[in-house]
Structure 1
């Protein structure tokens, strides 16, 4: 496999000056009555000198190939003259932004989800980008899609699906992005491409199960809230009974304690405000 070789090309201004000198000489020969040498010199001027002039813009490069052999890459920006018989492949060194399409895949527990990623990448090794793969732009698109699919298959969407999962697609965004970036760099290294950043841009359940999963999440949230309310209510009841016993406010038997606990739990755990009934008689009537 070819490795990148950076070369320094001669200034194009010298080549341009040589072009005008030879063009002038060709014109003088024609005027002097030497048409054949004038034509030959003019053809050589255009073929050898003018054809070798190239302009390399900032953050661009030219890969030079002579008769099937890789000569090197011009990465410096400016005006240059190179061998006119070389094939000059332009390769951009700018950062590209790939906004991946939404993919429908299954997570690690089999739930269908929709996922997409935004990937920022650039060419690091021009020789690999040109010679190691057929089309490096297409290679990036296909490998990026494969990496996102593999990532989605490796983790559950949320802890609701797998309570023992240490990383989820929804909850571990930073970790998932780091793993996606590493996998992409491993996949694209063959093409001389470096991934600068990779982020999940879209993540959702597939439409056919989205409503059911929403209801499941709501139910889980309600259960968690109820559990917290009950734990708090039990603590408050326990504290009330303990304080009453410490201060000898009233002496209750076990049956009345049970009734009091029941009433307090109803008041503290109820969804609506209760309407108390005031007992104007004794405690036992």
Structure 2
């Protein structure tokens, strides 16, 4: 019979001669972020034997799944870096007026030089060289003076307060003019006027749904203005239509409060709409200050049913309040009678008195309600 020492030697003998095992701590198998600077109070490592390999692979340990924080529904549109508002190069309006006046005066002088003035001016004593007729020099003088007059008067533009001019030449953006008064710009540029004042827009009733999925019709009030004229005019086809579409998309993502909701819920709805619309319209050069629900009502297909539901809820609330008032009144009456010693009632008489008082109070309350 084998001795205990022989059994111990046999238990630690290798089953496979070329087998390699490694001692690893048991507590490290299920630990993702060990802290080497902290002393672990757990027991020392032990040998696991041939069934455990020296790496984490194959130990049966499952990786921990970390909870992901949901991000935004979609990335905001990136603005075109080439479309950034910059001031255009223009001249004061007096320069255009002087250039146009000089061109007109040049045409008059050329006509006098060619001798084509009206008959009244023909009788005046003219110096030598006048009345030479229309030759090549006269036509060249007419062309120069006419071009100067057209350039001077054709480039004059009036800049009203609260408006800006977006200038473009041959399809390229040449700058924005925000100055007021008369100024002169290149007469060949294309000018588009943009309203940069603070504006508000009240939408028509748009479809939406509350937190319970009940269809609603919501009219919102949007306060906004054009911040970057280059992006508003050249970045989108129509920035006002783009704003409307962004409001509709925001209403599809935000659940407005139902009609008759609390003021805090309405404020939360407005803040969420403002953030979404401001984020979407930033690429179009628009600055949105607030988007607030101006009117919230149920859709026509559910309006009657929700009205009946609201009336029933109000009626139930009134009935509960009336019953509470009657019960309080009966209790107060019985308590006063018994406390002051006016009546001495047993349980049966107390029940009868409570019943009679309840019937009387309910009948009297029904008569007082119109």
Same fold (TM over 0.5): yes
SS for the counterpart of 2:236 is coil
Q: Displacement of 1:273 after TM fit?
A: 4.0
Could you tell me which residue of structure 2 aligns to residue 163 of structure 1? none
Structure 1 segments, 4+ long, off by >6 Å, are: none
Could you tell me which residue of structure 1 aligns to residue 87 of structure 2? 6
Decide which structure has greater strand share. 1
The structure-2 alpha-carbon separation of the partners of 1:246 and 1:263, relative to structure 1 and needing over 3 Å to count, comes to same
User: Does residue 202 of the first structure (1) align with residue 265 of the second (2)?
Assistant: no
**Counterparts of 1:105 and 1:169, CA distance in 2:** 18
Superposed CA deviations along residues 9-48 of structure 1, whole A, max 9, x for unmatched, are 3211221112111221243234324322223203421453
**Counterparts of 2:264 and 2:321, CA distance in 1:** 22
Counterpart selection for 2:319 from 202, 221, 226 = 226
The structure-2 alpha-carbon separation of the partners of 1:169 and 1:145, relative to structure 1 and needing over 3 Å to count, comes to farther
Q: Displacement of 1:77 after TM fit?
A: 1.0
Could you tell me which residue of structure 2 aligns to residue 215 of structure 1? 308
SS for the counterpart of 2:366 is coil
SS for the counterpart of 2:139 is helix
Task: Check conservation: 2:257, 2:265, Cα contact below 8 A.
Answer: no
Task: Check conservation: 1:267, 1:273, Cα contact below 8 A.
Answer: no
Superposed CA deviations along residues 41-75 of structure 1, whole A, max 9, x for unmatched, are 03421453333211111111111223333232111
Number of residue-to-residue matches in the alignment: 264
Q: Displacement of 1:256 after TM fit?
A: 1.5
Counterpart selection for 1:245 from 319, 329, 338 = 338
Could you tell me which residue of structure 2 aligns to residue 70 of structure 1? 173
Task: Check conservation: 1:30, 1:38, Cα contact below 8 A.
Answer: no
Structure 1 stretches of 5 or more lacking a match?
160-167, 275-285
Task: Check conservation: 1:27, 1:38, Cα contact below 8 A.
Answer: no
Superposed CA deviations along residues 99-120 of structure 1, whole A, max 9, x for unmatched, are 3122233322122222222333
Q: Displacement of 1:96 after TM fit?
A: 3.7
Decide which structure has greater helix share. 1
User: Does residue 132 of the first structure (1) align with residue 226 of the second (2)?
Assistant: no
Could you tell me which residue of structure 1 aligns to residue 218 of structure 2? 115
Could you tell me which residue of structure 2 aligns to residue 157 of structure 1? 258
The structure-2 alpha-carbon separation of the partners of 1:136 and 1:100, relative to structure 1 and needing over 3 Å to count, comes to same
Could you tell me which residue of structure 2 aligns to residue 35 of structure 1? 138
User: Does residue 48 of the first structure (1) align with residue 151 of the second (2)?
Assistant: yes
The structure-2 alpha-carbon separation of the partners of 1:202 and 1:80, relative to structure 1 and needing over 3 Å to count, comes to same
Q: Displacement of 1:180 after TM fit?
A: 3.0
The higher relative CO (CA closer than 8 Å, separation ≥ 6) is in: 1
Structure 2 stretches of 5 or more lacking a match?
1-80, 115-136
**Counterparts of 1:36 and 1:177, CA distance in 2:** 69
Task: Check conservation: 1:155, 1:169, Cα contact below 8 A.
Answer: no
User: Does residue 177 of the first structure (1) align with residue 270 of the second (2)?
Assistant: yes
More displaced 10-residue stretch of structure 1: 206-215 or 57-66: 206-215
Higher radius of gyration, 1 or 2: 2
Q: Displacement of 1:79 after TM fit?
A: 0.4
Task: Check conservation: 1:64, 1:71, Cα contact below 8 A.
Answer: yes
The structure-2 alpha-carbon separation of the partners of 1:178 and 1:192, relative to structure 1 and needing over 3 Å to count, comes to same
Task: Check conservation: 2:99, 2:149, Cα contact below 8 A.
Answer: no
TM-score (ref. length: structure 2):
0.64
Task: Check conservation: 1:109, 1:156, Cα contact below 8 A.
Answer: no
